[in-house]
Structure 1
């Protein structure tokens, strides 16, 4: 039996998920939800799939739902489907606040349901290969910058971009953050369009995070320094370089990692997760700390 899923929000990412899902043999797309009537009518003409303007009106049963609607709607929609007994995949962020995200994970656990969060960079081959070389990081530097996106943006740059790197940091580093210094600037949107944060951990490790959606340049990188090596991860070009310490110099090895379809991989993980055939890289519980740090960074920016 195929897994029946609905897709809620057919903007840019929603259409990407739809394209991948339609090509998966063990998946049946049983519902499309989009509040834009013009777009919904186009979907009705193009696909032989039941379409709904309101997610609360779905008539046919679904096993799981992919939520790719604006971030401000994630909590409300995810809560509705969980309470209906439906497994949930949510594009990042899971919710706008840590409290909301924690509440969703508690609902899922109480009903033995699955929640997965869409953090694509966890699937990036350069990152997955790079973490194999890590032993004891002492410094992190993350840069995620680019032009203002054409897609819908209803959250600030911390929840839109920086949260990717906070999630990666939380995966690598388990120690508690003891201090945060941060700043941000509004330029186009209502929230911060550029922000930085300096985090210090209880073991004195530090991390610098820079995120911007008003840059003319594009960069998505993570630099991790240890006593004996530096691990450089280039997410855009899927490239990894390792600088190893030598007497008076460094020896650098460069790895060109195989590019993969990351959206397909995370969607396949969700389907396997529903079927009880494995766990994804980004279960809801595992992503809560990134949202917690994002909240604290936003508070620090507000107090700066």
Structure 2
């Protein structure tokens, strides 16, 4: 690879634009290209940032060193596998895939080629900035709420794979135990996907996680309550504040740190550092992304069984 990495983004939607801007601004990388089926959309994202718009995958892959997959979730595995087959490390927006089999194919091909795979569970960056991942106690209970108004974004997957998977990843990062049961109920939208859901997941050590998501809410709300033996932590992800009654010192000013101000940027920087060999791994790797996907699919199955 060249000293300055050439970044490429697959998908010229909202998240594709976010990722393109990261490659254009971060040191040691430039935005080389954006791939999209619609040439006008690809050019509109790429050209103001000094890159090119592409519609041909092979041509795009020849022009880049690292790839972000920000296409619709149902295409994540297909695009990641193509990039890996071409020898390119990949950063995949969550979810890593929409089936465990596809996620494992991505992991196996990356391992065979010795390439980095990162996944965009960016809330992990904020947890790390707060200091939550350093608490020495195991949690007893977690209650996560993630609501938003209707949107045309991510209609190819359920609210579980779109929204809940963020909080699933955080619960898995906090707990040393494995999930053992998942129960839930939800509401299907007119196009046949789960838009509203509530699930209770039990872990082997007695830890319980409650996940509540909606893509039909009147306003955006994102909160989390974590109960420990020594106290509780209440987080408001929208206000970017939290209340802590545990004895553990957390960073109340996390929102003003570089990672707190730009979680996506910190996540992409972590990916690039791993690609360059400056870090042992990205912030969220393929194993962790597949584990979150596995539990998300179990929740979806619980919702289907409850109908």
Whether the TM-score (by the shorter chain) exceeds 0.5 is yes
Whole-Å separation in 1 of the counterparts to 2:95 and 2:46: 29
Say if 2:133 is the partner of 1:136. no
**Offset at residue 149 of structure 1 (A):** 2.8
Residue 111 of structure 2 is matched in structure 1 by 109
SS state of the match for residue 245, structure 2?
strand
Say if 2:255 is the partner of 1:255. no
**Offset at residue 47 of structure 1 (A):** 5.1
Whole-Å separation in 2 of the counterparts to 1:70 and 1:175: 32
**Offset at residue 61 of structure 1 (A):** 4.0
SS state of the match for residue 10, structure 1?
coil
Q: Is residue 182–residue 197 contact of structure 1 (8 Å, CA) maintained in 2?
A: yes
**1:225-257 CA-partner distances (Å, limit 9, x unpaired):** 122201122222221211249xxxxxxx99343
CA 126–240 in structure 1, closer or farther in 2 if over 3 Å, else same: farther
Q: Is residue 4–residue 28 contact of structure 1 (8 Å, CA) maintained in 2?
A: yes
- Larger CA deviation: 215-224 vs 87-96: 215-224
Residue 197 of structure 2 is matched in structure 1 by 195
Tell me the TM-score normalized by structure 2: 0.90
**Offset at residue 159 of structure 1 (A):** 0.0
Q: Is residue 138–residue 175 contact of structure 2 (8 Å, CA) maintained in 1?
A: no
Residue segments in structure 1 that go unaligned for 5+ positions in a row: 246-252
Q: Is residue 32–residue 50 contact of structure 2 (8 Å, CA) maintained in 1?
A: no
Match 1:87 to one of 83, 86, 89: 89
Tell me the TM-score normalized by structure 1: 0.91
Q: Is residue 105–residue 284 contact of structure 1 (8 Å, CA) maintained in 2?
A: yes
Residue 300 of structure 1 is matched in structure 2 by 302
- Larger CA deviation: 33-42 vs 285-294: 33-42
Whole-Å separation in 1 of the counterparts to 2:109 and 2:44: 35
Matches within 5 A, 1:235-246: 235-244=237-246
Bigger Rg, which one: 1
SS state of the match for residue 255, structure 1?
coil
Matches within 5 A, 1:285-296: 285-296=287-298
Aligned length: 297
Q: Is residue 33–residue 46 contact of structure 2 (8 Å, CA) maintained in 1?
A: no
Whole-Å separation in 2 of the counterparts to 1:127 and 1:296: 29
SS state of the match for residue 185, structure 2?
strand
Q: Is residue 34–residue 53 contact of structure 2 (8 Å, CA) maintained in 1?
A: yes
Residue 249 of structure 1 is matched in structure 2 by none
